[in-house]
Amino acid sequence: MSECPFNARPGEAIVRDEKAQLDFSQSMSYGDYLSLDAILNAQHPRSPDHNEMLFIVQHQTSELWMKLMLHELHAAIAHLAKDEISPAFKMLARVSKIMEQLVHAWDVLATMTPPEYSAIRPYLSSSSGFQSHQYRCIEFALGNKNAAMLTPHAHRPDLLAQVQASFVAPSLYDEALRLLARRGIPMPLSHQERDWSMPYTASSEVEAAWLVVYRQPEKYWDLYQLGEELTDLEDAFRLWRFRHVTTVERVIGFKRGTGGTGGVSYLRKMLDVVLFPEIWSLRTAL
């Protein structure tokens, strides 16, 4: 703060300084930094219904959270591949918190009633969250590989390339298992090197490997903590999926999804997918 001039009244110099700081004509403002003009003008309702704004903002903000989730997941996977386990912990914990945020976002969309959704549904055409390339990349990064899920992105070669890259790359769990092997924990070769685009197959040998860690947490503390970070992450992901199912059923019942899926019936099948199976099954053996 500049010194107060001799003849200035109390506070006058402070006011002048604050006015100078409020002039952003020559510097970057909050809105400039966040590109708020682009973000806040990216909502284009197609129906005359008041409630469509909620539907648009809900999904746009979810996509922003998913962008951050992928940023953290890809970094965590890279750290595990380089045996840098500590930085990965922070990133995985953040991913779990982002999923919690997405769970609560469904609470807002659940305020949309069936008649309100019915008023905007014809204007959605065939667009659907099923076509979210970011969500598909998240599922692939977490190990739920399914070649059929590449098809919804075939119309956009640029997006297909991103989804394809996640599809053929080792998942978070793949890298975790390879890390255990490098630490000397007996791990079947079938789970150290394989076709990463194939769906993960649970293994009693992998469960035995995790049991070595969980039965001696003091000796393998960081690997034990990794197992619990994975547990937290899948726990949060299950809640996200479950909240998705219940919100969709609450709003549209058992109608087919706009993207051609079975709607609730399809989403319920996804609840049965286990991403890190041995992390869960080992608990019975402890």
pLDDT at 181: 98
CB 184 within 8 A of CB 47: no
Write out pLDDT tens, residues 22-32: 677 778 999 99
pTM beyond 0.85: the answer is: yes
Cα–Cα dist 166/65, whole Å: 18
pLDDT at 17: 60
For residue 200, pLDDT over 90 is answered with yes
pLDDT at 245: 86
CB 265 within 8 A of CB 254: yes
Question: What string of H, E and C letters represents the secondary structure of the chain?
Answer: CCCCCCCCCCCHHHHHHHHHHCCCCCCCCHHHHHCHHHHHCCCCCCCCCCCHHHHHHHHHHHHHHHHHHHHHHHHHHHHHHCCCHHHHHHHHHHHHHHHHHHHHHHHHHCCCCHHHHHHHHHHHCCCCHHHCHHHHHHHHHCCCCCHHHHHHHCCCHHHHHHHHHHHHCCCHHHHHHHHHHHCCCCCCHHHCCCCCCCCCCCCHHHHHHHHHHHHCCCCCHHHHHHHHHHHHHHHHHHHHHHHHHHHHHHHHCCCCCCCCCCCHHHHHHHCCCCCCHHHHHHHHHC
| Residue 143 neighbours by CB distance under 10 Å | 21
pLDDT at 12: 61
Write out pLDDT tens, residues 129-144: 888 999 999 999 999 9
Write out pLDDT tens, residues 217-258: 999 999 999 999 999 999 999 999 888 888 888 887 867 666
For residue 286, pLDDT over 70 is answered with yes
| Residue 274 neighbours by CB distance under 10 Å | 16
| Residue 142 neighbours by CB distance under 10 Å | 22
- Binning pLDDT at 50, 70 and 90, where does residue 272 land? confident
pLDDT above 70 covers a percentage of the chain that reads 88
Q: How far apart are the first and last CA of the chain?
A: 63
* φ, ψ at 187 (rounded to 5°): -140, 130
For residue 10, pLDDT over 70 is answered with no
- Binning pLDDT at 50, 70 and 90, where does residue 42 land? very high
CB 201 within 8 A of CB 273: no
- Binning pLDDT at 50, 70 and 90, where does residue 271 land? confident
pLDDT at 146: 94
pLDDT at 8: 55
Residues 6+ apart with CB under 8 A from 179: 80, 81, 83, 85, 223, 226
Q: Which of residues 6 and 46 earns the better pLDDT score?
A: 46
pLDDT averaged over every residue in the chain: 90
pLDDT at 13: 56
pLDDT at 15: 55
Write out pLDDT tens, residues 46-101: 999 999 999 999 999 999 999 999 999 999 999 999 999 999 999 999 999 999 99
- Binning pLDDT at 50, 70 and 90, where does residue 2 land? very low
